[in-house]
Structures are given as C-alpha cells and as structure tokens.
Amino acid sequence: MFFHKKNLMYEVKVSQADPRFARILLEQFGGANGELAAAMQYFVQGLGSRDTKMRDMLMDIAAEEISHLEMVGTCIDMLINGHPNEEFYQTEIFDFVGGNGPNLMNSYGIKWTADYLKVSGETASDLHNNIAAEGRAKITYERLMTQTDDPSVLDMLKFLMTREVTHIQNFQEALYSLEEQMPGVMSGSPEFVKKYFNMSTGATDARGPWNEDGKFEYVEDPVPMGNNPAEEMKAKNE
C-alpha cells in the first residue's frame, strides 16, 4: 500500500527557468541511471527476495527513490515553465514529446525502458549491481552540478548526490553481511580459477592485486587449450 504526502522529501526551488538544464536533468528522471530505474530495480528485487531483511531494505530504498523521482520531476517542471524565450523553449524536447512537463525519457528524448533494470533473483548479484547503479547515479549528479549556477538547484542536487552515497554504503554493508559475497552457489574449477591470463601483451603489461603472485598464477604467454575445429573438418573431408 502506498500513501502520498504532498510535501517533498527535501526542498525544491529554482531561481529562474532553464530549459537546457531541465533537459539534461531528464537523465535522473527517465534515464538509464535515473531515479525511476533505481526505484523499480529495488522494488522488483524486493518483491522477489526470500530474505526478509534484504526485502525490507530494498523496499525502504525503493520508496526513497520514488521520493527522489518526485523531486527531480518537480524541479524539471519548474525549470521549463515560465521560460520567457518562446522560440528557444519550442526547440526543447519537452514541447513536442513531453507534453509540456517532465516525461519518462532521457536527455536525448529516448523513452524509459524496463531493460534498464538489473534483477537477477540472487541477493549477492543484485547487491553488486545496486552498488554500481548508485555509483552511476552519484557521478551523474556530480556532472549535473557542473552545469548550473542556480544555488537552490545545486542544493537539491547535493542532497540527492548525498543520499546516493548513503545507499552505496547501505548496499555495501548488506553485501559484506552475507556469508558468501560471490554470486551463485558453485565454486570455480580448481585448475582454472586461480589463473590470470596475460591476454593483452605489450610494453605496458601491468601487475597488481588482481594478478599478484600468491593470489593468482600469472600466465605470461597464454596458449590455446582447445582444439582446432577447422583442422578436424579438413581431416574428415580428406
């Protein structure tokens, strides 16, 4: 059951109309890493979760993301309404696609799609995805903050960016609380699981914790382990 409270989660005000900024802010409304995508991803993950604690967290954060969506949509509406330059306003996608208000599309006018969502039905895999999704939302807010001077809009963007930081930390803690952070149930085959193949070779070959001796066996010059199907086909035809 959902209730709606008419007051916004945090203050949304704009100093003046700015259709250009409204257009790029659409990324957080109907874009791939926007608030609707976040809300729906956690909501659908939560509905399918068999872990009641994870389900609770996913529903809490999903409901907050809808509150962010409301703030972003409200801000877009304020930014496009009352713009004095009618000619410029009509060149913006809102006028002929969006019906004069925010619409579920990205800054290029491409409609929102459920294909943006990552729902695996597996807690560890979903949490990894959610951490990455929150990270993308955070950097999108940071980039948006370079594109406006409006102090009220900047204050709202700072709040929304901050909440994504919190969500990254919530999802990280949830992931670390799992007994097994590796998605799925099977272990990798022992003969391959600890090998690192140096498949891109050249002067800038690099070493780090991802291919460190001890943790991994560094295979400097990998050779194919498989057969040659064309050779076998040729032999069969002779």
| Whether the Cβ atoms of residue 74 and residue 13 lie closer than 8 Å to each other | no
**Judged by CB, which is closer to Mn ion: 68, or 83?**
68
Report which of 76, 97, 75, 94 is spatially closest to residue 86, judged by C-alpha positions: 94
Check residue 16 and give left, alpha or beta (phi > 0: left; psi -120 to 50: alpha).
beta
Q: x/- contact string, 126-155, with Mn ion (CB under 5 A)?
A: --------x---------------------
**Judged by CB, which is closer to Mn ion: 27, or 35?**
35
**Judged by CB, which is closer to Mn ion: 126, or 134?**
134
Among 68, 83, 128, 138, binds Mn ion (CB under 5 A): 68
| Whether the Cβ atoms of residue 35 and residue 28 lie closer than 8 Å to each other | yes
Q: Which stretch binds Mn ion (CB under 5 A): 102-110, 138-146, 158-166, 179-187?
A: 158-166
- Nearest-angstrom CA–CA distance, 172 and 187: 22
160: buried, middle or exposed (CB in 10 Å: 19+, 13-18, 0-12)? buried
Report which of 68, 63, 29 is spatially closest to residue 46, judged by C-alpha positions: 63
Q: x/- contact string, 162-201, with Mn ion (CB under 5 A)?
A: --x--x----------------------------------
> Which residues sit opposite 218 in a β-bridge?
196
Among 36, 65, 93, 105, binds Mn ion (CB under 5 A): 65
**Judged by CB, which is closer to Mn ion: 33, or 83?**
33
C-beta of 97: minimal distance to Mn ion in Å?
A: 24
Q: x/- contact string, 18-37, with Mn ion (CB under 5 A)?
A: -----------------x--
- Nearest-angstrom CA–CA distance, 154 and 182: 38
C-beta of 69: minimal distance to Mn ion in Å?
A: 8
User: Which residues of this protein are in contact with Mn ion, per CB under 5 A?
Assistant: 35, 65, 68, 134, 164, 167
